[in-house]
Structure 1
Amino acid sequence: MKKSLVALAALAVAGVASAQSSVTLFGVVDAAVSGYSNKSENRFGSATTSRTALTSSGYNSSRLGFRGTEDLGGGLAASFWLEAGINNDEGIGTATGGGLQFNRRSTVSLSGNFGEVRLGRDYTPTFWNDTVFDPFGTNGVGTNLISTASGKNTPGSFQNGFVANKNYSRASNSVGYFLPPNLGGFYGQVMYAFNEKDKYDPAALTPDAPDSQRAGRYIGGRVGYANGPLDVALAYGESTIGDDYFAGATTTQNTWNLGASYDFGVAKVFGEYSNNKVKTDWKNPADASGLSDPGANGWLLGATVPVGPGLIRASYSAVEYRNVVAPGLKDPEAYKFALGYVHNLSKRTALYTSVAYLRNKNGANLTVGGPDYAGDINGHSLTPKSSTGYDFGIRHSF
């Protein structure tokens, strides 16, 4: 439960906690029984891969965090936020290697009438629209296909698509600025994330290795308006996902998305459109002859309906790839319908269930989660067709 000047554990993590105006320990523990069934087929037959598992983060992402604020006077405040993802079904962190690391957010900031300057690891501006305007909040089998196609919840994703972006949801080594909250409903942010690569002089000493000079950088921004029942936001980001220094090539993933929601009281409706393109710039334009820029367009329509202490959630999302197959072939596509219900036992505890059905066309290979598709039958390759799944779980926040 939330406390000010909390517990010895929080004070130890915060360092010089006695100087803080407030320190809070917070978190979410979310566990679910989840099932997945992914079917692929060819003219010789079909194959299904399935899994039943105890999972975490089916409704809200499980996490453990510490945050604090010190009033510096004159309208200034210094703050810190350390938040670690946890896989509570296995008792480990979500970071690579399973250790407990502050991989969700790790920032220190200074705020005042000018807004907030924030340094560290944080959400990217372009990810906010994907999660804020999704009735399922990019969690569980209901996660929208815009997010899934970017690498979330799917082990493979389209192999020629736009998934090699480690800065999709969060960026490390970032400097961000947020507008102050007193602008009549307008809000916004910008972010720049350093790639922290070594530079060499003379340039001939640069290692002849891929992704050694420019990969990892992110720059983006988001602006929106929220007033009463309406919330609408536009975001753009450019993430450098690859480079070849001596070939003079730099590959970026450029994303822009527009999302909105409107609360009618009896129901809240959501919508989002996202455009993603992977673009390679060449020092010598002749090297790019005949090459095309792969990408994808995605969209979502959804709604939540309050029912007593509960909430019905529904969404329909789609992704259409571009320039990822040979000319003359049909572009891969995927469509998904998700339906769920959340029953609030209190302000902090809820039971939930979600089901989802996904249909692939023309070679797309997205899933609602779980195992990847079977690759072949007796040496004959299989084409991914459909994926279904469910979550039934409990979420407790503190």
Structure 2
Amino acid sequence: MFAKKNLIAVAALATLAVSAQAQSSVTLYGNLDVAVAHTKNENFVDGSVTGVESSILTESFFGLKGQEDLGGGLKAIFKLEAPIAVDTGAANSNLFSKNAYVGLAGDFGTVKLGNQESLFKTAQAAYNPFGTSVLSPVQTLTGVVGTVGTVSTLDLTSSWNNTIGYESSNFGGLTFAVQHSARENSTGAYNGGATAASVNYSAGALGLSAVYGDVRSTTNAPAAVAERNRTWLLGASYDFGVVKAFAQYGQDKLESIDDKVKVWQIGAIVPVTAAGGVHASYGQAKLDDTKAKQFSLAYHHSLSKRTSAYAGLAVIDADADENQTTVAVGVRHAF
């Protein structure tokens, strides 16, 4: 009788533990990408360099995310993500500069408060074959042509501080999102405040995206110039089976110089075997008389569900004969 009671108690505790686990969860995950890379520069100060580099094909980071069931279809969520340099082990910028937020999710969509990747970053990553990495022309070239003023939202690697974000539920493949980076200082040195909105459509093989932003500053750091940037970015992809094609076009109107950063790219992923594929992209960025072009090519091969190897090439052709060629062989591990 005593043993039977003990078995009932153990079964009850096990049921409670399983129920609690179903109601809440925390997951550790990430991506580590590191390569041996050789970069040859023409008319660049640094000359040629061979070394171990991080995030060549995919962005390196680690993260924690979790949720808790609050009942009635409502969930509490959180995410902490830290970009890291695998070659040195150092955190890039602040520890959780990629994402650090808490939010609520339900039938109404998702509301998030905290540091969040910008809608521009998530859109550019989704609609080019290299995502957020060194080989992505759209990401790299906007830095090559440069910007004037506080911030260019076509710096497509950034997250927004002090942000309120909303993502809608899915309406037959159609979703929309809005973000607002709050101005947290009233002094004249802070020209802060940024707002962006996006509309996305995904159905079968087709993907479409449009993002618009009105930006002064996305951090509470002092801005050098009280500049208002009005930016938009379009993206499209279609999976034909034998090839997945990508295209992007964006502009950032810089108020202080009455000019625009213009950027575009086309790209493709071509499956070669069940485990491997060729990634290719060509893009161009222009600001006034400054123009830069980039061609990127890589072969990516899965060794297992979580580990893969790759070889890649990026060629940048900028004005004033400032050319750069990077060749890399690397490995990535997702966990």
Q: Counterpart of 1:373? A: none
Q: Counterpart of 2:298? A: 340
Q: Counterpart of 2:12? A: none
CA contact (8 A) 1:258 1:274 kept: yes
Q: 1:388 to 1:193 in 2, by over 3 A?
A: same
Q: Counterpart of 1:390? A: 327
Partner letter of residue 186 of structure 1?
L
* 3-state SS in 1 of match to 2:322: strand
Are 1:268 and 2:205 matched, yes or no? no
Q: 1:213 to 1:357 in 2, by over 3 A?
A: closer
The 4+ residue runs of structure 1 with deviation greater than 3 A are: 17-20
* 3-state SS in 2 of match to 1:49: coil
- Give me the whole-angstrom Cα distance separating, in 1, the residues matched to 2:317 and 2:185: 41
Structure with higher helix content:
2
Q: 1:241 to 1:174 in 2, by over 3 A?
A: closer
Are 1:176 and 2:153 matched, yes or no? no
Partner letter of residue 37 of structure 1?
K
- Please give the per-residue CA displacement for 1:184-206, whole angstroms capped at 9, x wherever unaligned: 0001110000121135xxxxxxx
- Give me the whole-angstrom Cα distance separating, in 2, the residues matched to 1:355 and 1:38: 14
Are 1:349 and 2:307 matched, yes or no? yes
CA contact (8 A) 1:27 1:64 kept: yes
Partner letter of residue 83 of structure 2?
G
Q: Counterpart of 2:55? A: 57
- Please give the per-residue CA displacement for 1:164-220, whole angstroms capped at 9, x wherever unaligned: 527642101100000113x10001110000121135xxxxxxxxxxx61323x2110
- Give me the whole-angstrom Cα distance separating, in 2, the residues matched to 1:255 and 1:105: 22
CA contact (8 A) 1:35 1:52 kept: yes
Q: Counterpart of 2:24? A: 21
Structure 1 residue ranges without an equivalent (≥5): 1-16, 42-46, 152-156, 200-210, 243-248, 281-291, 323-330, 362-382
Q: 1:162 to 1:274 in 2, by over 3 A?
A: farther
Q: 1:255 to 1:315 in 2, by over 3 A?
A: same
CA contact (8 A) 1:162 1:294 kept: no
Q: Counterpart of 2:260? A: 295
Q: Counterpart of 2:8? A: none
- Give me the whole-angstrom Cα distance separating, in 2, the residues matched to 1:251 and 1:163: 6
* 3-state SS in 2 of match to 1:139: coil
Residue 33 of structure 1: how far off its partner (Å): 0.7
Q: Counterpart of 2:272? A: 307
Partner letter of residue 24 of structure 2?
S
CA contact (8 A) 2:207 2:237 kept: yes
* 3-state SS in 1 of match to 2:140: helix
CA contact (8 A) 2:194 2:217 kept: no
Q: How many residues align?
A: 306
1:79 to 77, 82, 87: 77
* 3-state SS in 2 of match to 1:32: strand
1:277-292 aligned at under 5 Å gives the runs 277-280=253-256, 292=257
Residue 357 of structure 1: how far off its partner (Å): 1.2
What is the root-mean-square deviation of aligned Cα atoms in Å?
A: 2.2
Structure 2 residue ranges without an equivalent (≥5): 1-19, 219-224
Q: 1:64 to 1:20 in 2, by over 3 A?
A: farther
- Give me the whole-angstrom Cα distance separating, in 2, the residues matched to 1:175 and 1:241: 15
Partner letter of residue 30 of structure 2?
G
- Give me the whole-angstrom Cα distance separating, in 2, the residues matched to 1:56 and 1:40: 24
Q: 1:295 to 1:223 in 2, by over 3 A?
A: same
Tell me the percent identity.
Answer: 35
Residue 162 of structure 1: how far off its partner (Å): 4.5
- Give me the whole-angstrom Cα distance separating, in 2, the residues matched to 1:52 and 1:189: 42
Are 1:195 and 2:200 matched, yes or no? no
Residue 28 of structure 1: how far off its partner (Å): 1.4
1:1-398 aligned at under 5 Å gives the runs 21-40=24-43, 49-95=47-93, 101-140=95-134, 142-144=135-137, 146-151=138-143, 157-158=144-145, 161-162=147-148, 164-165=150-151, 168=155, 169-181=158-170, 183-199=171-187, 212-215=189-192, 217-241=193-217, 250-280=226-256, 292-308=257-273, 309-322=275-288, 331-361=289-319, 383-398=320-335
Partner letter of residue 162 of structure 2?
N
- Give me the whole-angstrom Cα distance separating, in 2, the residues matched to 1:213 and 1:150: 24
- Give me the whole-angstrom Cα distance separating, in 1, the residues matched to 2:287 and 2:101: 35
* 3-state SS in 1 of match to 2:48: strand
Residue 104 of structure 1: how far off its partner (Å): 0.9
- Give me the whole-angstrom Cα distance separating, in 1, the residues matched to 2:254 and 2:117: 21
